[in-house]
Amino acid sequence: MDIIERESENSDQMDGFLFTHSVSGGTGSGMGSLILEKIRDRFPKKVIQTYSVFANHEDTSDVIVHPYNSVLSMERLIDYPDHVIVIDNAALNRLAAGKFETQQPTFDHINSLVTRIMSTSTAMFRFDSHVLSFSPVVDPNESFTRKTSVVDVVRNLLKPSSMMVSTASTTKSSHCMLSAFLFLQGQITSNDHSINAIRRAPWDFTNPLRILHTPSSPYIKPQYKVSGLMLNNSTSIAPLFERILGLFARLRSKNAFIDRFQKEVRILSFIRGIAWTQQW
């Protein structure tokens, strides 16, 4: 905290904090939650935005207690940050395999997606008007410009396959968009009929989708004519939480690895409280 306070004092105009961590590992969940709590107490009026990486639950995790760590981290993510951007490892691998047309995505492919997410979502704070491109996803080594339109970009952004969170494809209940912010960049004018049609959605008087057109950066050669990024607050994230709670309940029912939390009375009581709530 001394380093954070020193850097904040040297800053001319600090808007907030960007926090990147994993909710599955011990450092990202335990120490990360403690840092979040201390930053909120020390800077109560500053914006805190987190990029929270959830483990790939389709494969075996390196951390055997990651269901405990994930549930404990979500308690802090509810209380302290202003914005939480969820990044699911399973969705990143699926998206990289489909967009980059490779059966085995490398760390370069995954890191390319994460850097585009972070750079695009934070550009509004770092620059006056320029927003870096994100969608459609293309190989960063390509040098030609792809032809895209507003309708194509918006349609792709609304598809579940473009989300950074794995959603259940066979779910019986439909999900809805609570609120969303759509950033469009490229060769777009305010008179574009596609944008006007999206803004005046006939199915809802209060459209949850807000659209912002930002100019392209003069310092970067675009790889497509129209690009976009959507920050979506949707109920489709529920299956991710259900999978985490399912893994948590499986371990808790057998008291598996509970001895690792014996020294922390508050954490142990919290875990038992969640188990009691599920049984009730």
Q: Residue ranges of the domains in the chain? A: 2-279
The reported pLDDT for the residue numbered 132 is 35
pLDDT value for 227: 77
Residues of the chain with pLDDT under 70: 56-61, 123-148, 167-174, 189-207, 214-224, 260-280
Is residue 246 within 8 A of residue 43, CB to CB? The reply is no
- Written as six digits, the tokens of 162 are 């473009």
Counted residue by residue, the chain has a size of 280
Note the pLDDT of residue 243. Answer: 85
pLDDT of residue 42: 92
| pTM as predicted | 0.75
Q: What is the pLDDT of residue 203?
A: 55
Comparing C-alpha atoms, which of 84, 82, 85 is closest to residue 39?
82
SS3 breakdown of the chain: % helix, strand, coil, rounded to 5? 45, 20, 35
State how far the Cα of 212 lies from the Cα of 229, in Å rounded to an integer: 10
Handedness of CA 134, 140, 145, 148 (dihedral sign): negative
pLDDT at residue 61, as a whole number: 62
Has domain 2-279 been given CATH number 3.40.50.1440?
A: yes
